[in-house]
Every structure is written in structure tokens, then in C-alpha cells.
Structure 1
Amino acid sequence: MHDAANLETNMLGPVLADRSCGDCTACCTVLQVASPDFAKPAGVPCAHLTANGCGIHAVRPHICRTWFCVWRRQADLPDAARPDRSGLLVSMNFVPKPQNCFEGVSINVRLLAGSDAIENGMAARVLDVLCEYLIPVWFSDGDKKMLMHPTPDIARPVLSGAPAPAELQDEVAAWREQYGMFVPGR
């Protein structure tokens, strides 16, 4: 986990001092946790979650002390993008055996149950901010997971290894250089 936390800091920056979880407990229910000191399945509230938040906050597991959603790290995301306010949980994903190079290390924007973030435009605002970086961005609405960044005209040649059109060669080369290590079979 230490390496993942360092990677998150290198890619997204440090946790912002002026942002706190407050009443938000979305991660305590939505995310799967599989660490040496604590485990819970995705979509199931943590056994320690109470109506007032974490019932063991002072002695919570290491994973809970060191994991932060992307909203806590990205000043460009508006305050309204906090998961409990926006209906979107944004996190870094680390997939040990990715199906493609865009899954190894990526940002996942999850639409929470009952969220109106698509209709009210918050999902678009969040995606606009996150798609400015050389980091793959996936959007999940609970039924399907869609690659939002890079765009298909960049993703296709990166995934296939085919030559990129002249006007896209530099961008395709940047993605290949950054994420080529996650190509399955390497």
C-alpha cells in the first residue's frame, strides 16, 4: 500500500490540507477493501460504519488512514464534487493483471446509487478536470465501465499497436510510453 500511496501522490499531488471527508462515508460502503489488516466486499457497508461515521476512527485500519479519494487531492475539482455531495466517488485504481494498458493504473469515476450527477452536469465537470492529465479515466455507472480518456482516436492505436495518424503521433507516443508497461503479456 505504501507504494500505491506514493504513486497517487506523484500522479495527483498530496492530500489537500483544506479538504476533509466531513460527513462523507461513500468509500466505507462503495469500495472493496482487501488489505492485510482489513477486508470488506464492494457495495457492503463497513462493519464499523455507524450513523455518525466510523465507529473506530481513532484506531481504524492502516488502509483507512492512508487512502483518500481523488477529490481530497485535486484542487481543480469543485467542493461540490465531494462524493456525498456529487454522487460520484473518484479513486485511483491499481489492477495487478490489467486486461489492457489503460487499466493498470487509472482513475475511476463511480456514479453512486441514486445520483443525479449526469443530469445536473457534475459528472461532466468532474470528467473535464480529470481528462486533462496523462492518466486513463474510466466512468462506471454500476452497469458498465467506459474509458473516457484517452479518447477513442488515441486509445485505438495505443491498444492495437497500429501506426497513429500524423496529427496524433505525439499524443499516442506519450500514452504508449507512460502505460506500455501495463500491456498484458509484458
Structure 2
Amino acid sequence: MQSLVRDRTCGTCTACCRVLEIKTLGKPAGTLCEHNTGAACGIYKNRPAACAKWHCLWRKVEALPDELRPDRSEVMFSLETAPTSEDPFLRARIVGRALHGPDAFERWEAIEAIGMFVREGSLPVWTAFGSVASLIYPEPTRADHLRDAIRHPHAARNRGHEEEAAAWRLRLGYGAAPQEANLPGTKSPLGRLDSSPETGETHFATGTAKLFNGTKG
């Protein structure tokens, strides 16, 4: 079970009530839940398990400051998984979703947070608004060279790609149990990828590293 940052609560933030797809309620992604009151959930005590168990990364990563609460920054960072995706960089990824428009990614808080996740380097980093998503890390051209090497390790022709692809395979949970979610020789402040034996889903175990550079400009 992923621990949450102590003394940090959602408050009046209800960003996830719009962003998430909740199948048990028939609620598609990107539409405000009919049970949202504007500042809370109208069925909070009886909300679906999918809602009760889910938390954005602001609730999980202490390094993200108060300014990054989704309703304040207009960007919600989360871990998203698609363990069977053909694209290795979609299997487990950090996504920053703009709530009202892509201009939110130009705010200093979002720039610093994206930079923090890229420097940490454990997982692919994406930004998204609506149906438009952009891969930030690894750099898209680099990712194009790595995809086949990750999916077909024995067919890799470039030694550098082969070694980098092997590291990505470990971090993204290919084959055996996922290893430490960081490149060899580095220490991951966000934790590691853990594979759930019950669901087969991949989860990102976040930590409390002080990586955020809280300066404006």
C-alpha cells in the first residue's frame, strides 16, 4: 500500500473528479463527475473503490510543494499504467495533465516538477491535455531508437541502445520481477516499481526526496 505524505490532504481540490475515468459510475475521463459538489464528493462515504484508493502524486511525493496541488497549479501529476501496451513508454509512466489548457505547463511549478521527474529518471515522463499527449523523457527521437531494443532485446544492433534498453526493461517490469526503478549506479529517491501478484498491475513506490527547486525564474 502506497503511503501518503503526512498532514497533506486534498482539501477542496477535486481535479481527479474530472480527469479520471470511473467505470462503475459510467463517468468518462475528462468530464466532471455528476456527484461533484464543486468542493467535495457528494457520495464520499459510499464512493467507488477506484476513487477511494487513487491519489495523485502530490499526495504521494513530499518533494512536490503545496503550490503543486492540482487546483492551485492547474496540473495534476499521476502514475498511469498500461502493463500490456505495445509501446514500452506507456507501460508505466508519470503524466502531468493540464486541467484547463496547456499554458499551465509554462508555470514555474510545473516546469520544476517535470524537471524533477526527468532528473530522477525512473520512469517515462509525459504531459497531456485532452487527447493530446507529448513524451518529454526520454527525448522522443531517443525513444524511437529504444522501442525496438526494449521489445526485442536480442535484436538490438547498437551496443549503447542495448545497454540503455536493458535498464529500461528492468524499470518497466519486463520479464522477471521489476528491479530498482533507476539506472544502475544511481539512487532512486522515488523508490522502485513493484508488481502486484494479485492484479499484475505495476505501481510506483514514491518516496520523500527533497528534489524540488522551489525558485521562481
Distance in 2 (CA, whole Å) between partners of 1:133 and 1:16 is 21
Q: Secondary structure at the match of 1:93?
A: strand
Distance in 1 (CA, whole Å) between partners of 2:145 and 2:101 is 36
Taking only the aligned residue pairs, the percentage that are identical comes to: 38
Distance in 1 (CA, whole Å) between partners of 2:163 and 2:83 is 28
User: Offset of 1:45 from its aligned partner?
Assistant: 1.2
Q: Which residue of 2 aligns with 1:157?
A: 145
Letter in 1 for 2:5: L
Q: Which residue of 1 aligns with 2:167?
A: 174
Letter in 2 for 1:148: I
Task: Say which is worse superposed, 50-59 or 102-111, in terms of deviation.
Answer: 50-59
Give RMSD over aligned pairs: 2.4
| 2:75–2:110 Cα contact (<8 Å) kept | yes
Q: Which residue of 2 aligns with 1:141?
A: 129
Q: Which residue of 2 aligns with 1:15?
A: 4
Match of 2:16 among 19, 24, 27: 27
Letter in 2 for 1:29: R
User: Offset of 1:141 from its aligned partner?
Assistant: 2.9
Q: Secondary structure at the match of 1:103?
A: helix
Q: Which residue of 1 aligns with 2:28?
A: 41
Distance in 2 (CA, whole Å) between partners of 1:153 and 1:114 is 25
Q: Which residue of 1 aligns with 2:107?
A: 120
Distance in 1 (CA, whole Å) between partners of 2:144 and 2:101 is 33
- Compared with structure 1, are the counterparts of its residues 19 and 101 closer, same or farther at alpha carbon in structure 2 (3 Å cutoff)? same
| 1:86–1:115 Cα contact (<8 Å) kept | no
- Compared with structure 1, are the counterparts of its residues 90 and 80 closer, same or farther at alpha carbon in structure 2 (3 Å cutoff)? same
Superimposed CA distance per residue, residues 57-85 of structure 1 (whole angstroms, 9 cap, x where no aligned partner): 12222111110001100111111011000
- Compared with structure 1, are the counterparts of its residues 119 and 105 closer, same or farther at alpha carbon in structure 2 (3 Å cutoff)? closer
Letter in 2 for 1:160: D
Q: Does 1:129 align with 2:122?
A: no
Q: How many residues align?
A: 168
Q: Which residue of 2 aligns with 1:65?
A: 52
User: Offset of 1:143 from its aligned partner?
Assistant: 5.1
Match of 1:56 among 36, 43, 53: 43
Superimposed CA distance per residue, residues 97-130 of structure 1 (whole angstroms, 9 cap, x where no aligned partner): 4240110111111111146433322221110122
| 2:30–2:130 Cα contact (<8 Å) kept | no
TM-score by length of 1: 0.78
Letter in 2 for 1:25: T
Distance in 2 (CA, whole Å) between partners of 1:150 and 1:87 is 24
Q: Which residue of 1 aligns with 2:200?
A: none
Gaps of 5+ in 2: 150-155, 176-217
Q: Secondary structure at the match of 1:40?
A: coil
Distance in 1 (CA, whole Å) between partners of 2:77 and 2:57 is 5
Letter in 1 for 2:20: L
Gaps of 5+ in 1: 1-5
Letter in 2 for 1:51: G
Distance in 2 (CA, whole Å) between partners of 1:44 and 1:19 is 26
- Compared with structure 1, are the counterparts of its residues 74 and 54 closer, same or farther at alpha carbon in structure 2 (3 Å cutoff)? same
